Every structure is written in C-alpha cells, then in structure tokens.
Chain A
C-alpha cells in the first residue's frame, strides 16, 4: 500500500538559514510526488510536483525538491528561509496511473525564528 512519512513533526530554523524537510514514500511503481504548504487558516497550496524527468524540481516561493528513487525520498529544500515561510508542509504521493487519489504525510510544522 502507498504511504508517506514525514519524520519531522516540528522544525525550527532561524530566518536566513537553509531548510530541508524530509519525505519518504512507499510505492511499488513510479510515484507522482507533491509538496503542499498550508499557512494558518488557509487551504493547501501546491509548491511543486514531480512526475518524471529531471529529479530536481523547482517550485514556487524559492523551494526545490529532489527525487531520489534509491532512497524513496522527496525532500524539500530552500536555501534561505523567510519569516513568511512559517507554515505546515505536506508531502503527498499519487499512483503513476494517476487516479487522482493523493496519500498525504502527517505534515511538518515549520517555525521561523527572527
């Protein structure tokens, strides 16, 4: 069965520091992978997605993620965090047949220190 694990429930970084949020997935075939961000009181906004091709994908707001098949990972990175990046981040996987059904990780809450 498909599953997604985000090992870090809560992360705190200083403004200007680099960020990496971890995501591990379990899926037998080629996965479709997504990162969403949820700001307080808001819905989920798509940051980036990976379907195939270049394993390093660029997203909005300066985020990028790297797909590593050998590690079953799709970690999200940002070189310099801004205070406005404080939010909850969700990794999700869909089957390559793309039924449209997403399986979400538990989420990682990012706190940014001034």
Chain B
C-alpha cells in the first residue's frame, strides 16, 4: 500500500462549487503539506501543518482552506472553486528532512 494516498485522483467541478481533496498517510509523520503544480511554475506551497494544532499558510493560500483531522489526515478545501484553480494538487508528508509525496489529484474547474 502507498504511504501517502490522495482522493479523488481526478475531479471535474464547476465554478462556485465547494470541493474537498483528502490526503492520508501511514508514515507516522507529524508534518503534512499541500502543493499545487502548474505547467512552467513547478510546485507551490498552499498550506502546511507541523502537527494537528499547528497549521500555517504557504505561498498561495488565498481561496483555499485546510483541516487536519488527525495526525494521518490533512484535507484541502476550495470553498468556491474558480477556473484558475485548475491544477494538479499534491499532498506530502515529511520527517525532519525529507518530503514524501502522494500521487496527486488532477482538478479541473469549468
């Protein structure tokens, strides 16, 4: 089984809809992250969490929110999706020095 799983893997939604992307990890790490990937821009950090009670904004948090339900679960929400949030979204978890990535969720906002 994969160490970091993301659901759904693909999602098409409409402008204005609320959507949640979920991430679970079995590595036992405290730190978790959400990134988005856009062509030519690499990965950019949306939110990160160092433990259940410690959540921080990243580089591009506007339009997103997160919830850390447990050490193993970190969800990303788009409260009102817009087309420029169409991207590939990655969850990651880390020990003190190395990040491990999930397979990604491809989100399309029409």
Contacts and interface: CB of A to CB of B under 8 A. Distances in A.
A43 B104 contact: yes
**Residues of A in contact with B, size category:** 20 to 34
A46 interface: yes
B33 A100 contact: yes
A102 B45 CA distance: 8
Interface in A1-21: 4, 9
A43 B23 CA distance: 13
B94 A106 contact: no
B61 to A, nearest CB: 13
A98 interface: yes
Contacts of A90: 42-43
A102 B99 contact: yes
B44 A46 contact: no
**Residues of B in contact with A, size category:** 20 to 34
A78 B37 CA distance: 26
Given A44-B90, A98-B97, A101-B58, A107 B102 contact: no
A42 interface: yes
A94 B104 CA distance: 22
Given A9-B40, A90-B42, A104-B43, A46 B58 contact: no
Contacts of A105: 42
A51 B96 CA distance: 12
Contact of B50 (A44, A49, A100, A107): A100
A34 B98 CA distance: 9
A49 B42 contact: no
B58 A42 contact: no
A46 B97 CA distance: 12
Contacts of A98: 96-97
17 contacts: A4-B42, A9-B40, A34-B98, A43-B103, A44-B90, A46-B98, A49-B97, A100-B48, A100-B50, A101-B45, A101-B48, A101-B58, A102-B43, A102-B45, A104-B44, A105-B42, A106-B42
